[in-house]
Amino acid sequence: MPRIAYVNGRYVAHADAFVHIEDRGYQFADGVYEVCEVARGFIVDMPRHLGRLNRSLTELLIDWPVTRGVLPIIMREVVRRNHVTDGLVYLQVTRGVASRDFVFPAGTKPSLVVTARKADPAAAAERAESGIKVITVPENRWDRVDIKSVGLLPNVLAKQKAKEAGAQEAWFVDADGTVKEGGSSNAWIITRDGVLVTRPAEHGILRGITRTTLFEVAAKLGLKIEERGFSVAEAKAAREVFISSATTIAMPIVAIDGAPVANGHPGSITLSLRQAFFDVAEKSPA
């Protein structure tokens, strides 16, 4: 069964899905995106993802490509046509197609692309049981990483560097040694006292949707959270370390820059957060 994509009003075969060469997403990375997990036949935390999409569009002065009520219908239809029970649905909105000019074009309709693909939850659970590794890289991104922009070249380079080092994620680190976030995830530590620590999301990092839901999961489990910065050194000395994102939920980190975290194995608190996640996350039928 061929994959199906939605491109500007049409459902087309994935292999035949194209955008114009002067789409501003291609020319200027002038666009935003969202990724929602599809789990057990549900789209996870979709209202929060659409709320963040609205914020990103507003910050960049891009209009909605369709009405807010229609977009969930399109997302569900793409998931249905691709027979995705577990996986992800990706949507991208750009300012649209116009002759190449830095200033905003007048009267251009935004472009919308929606795709979906399957994933193996058993493979993800296996990764969580063994944990993953991260490396650290200097922060070199633009100041507005709170906007979920498609301009991700620094993230691409960081994650490529991680792959070459035998790791699965890279953490961006400020000049003072404070961890910001991962190339595609938020960063967390758990102190020796069992307190969850993650950097505040008012500025300097993306306010992850999974991150937000984990606050509710932690409350359900009776865990305390502190929103503050933490250093690479503090992370290496932590009881547990993990990342969060729509595609990883809560994924244990077992090594940072080659140094093991605690005993080098996933911690029980992280795994309990992961296990309880779907009991708390909002689930919209796909």
CA dist 104 and 237 (Å) reads: 48
Give the active site residue among 109, 118, 133, 148. Answer: 148
Signed CA dihedral, 82, 34, 105, 155: sign only: negative
Tokens (6 digits) for 227: 């929103």
Judge whether 148 counts as a catalytic residue. yes
Q: Where are the beta strands (DSSP E) in the chain?
A: 4-7, 10-13, 31-39, 42-44, 87-94, 111-118, 132-138, 169-173, 179-182, 186-190, 196-198, 225-227, 240-245, 249-256, 259-260, 283-285
Beta bridge partners of 23: 97
Question: What is the number of other CB atoms lying within 10 angstroms of the CB of residue 58?
Answer: 12
Residues noted as catalytic: 148
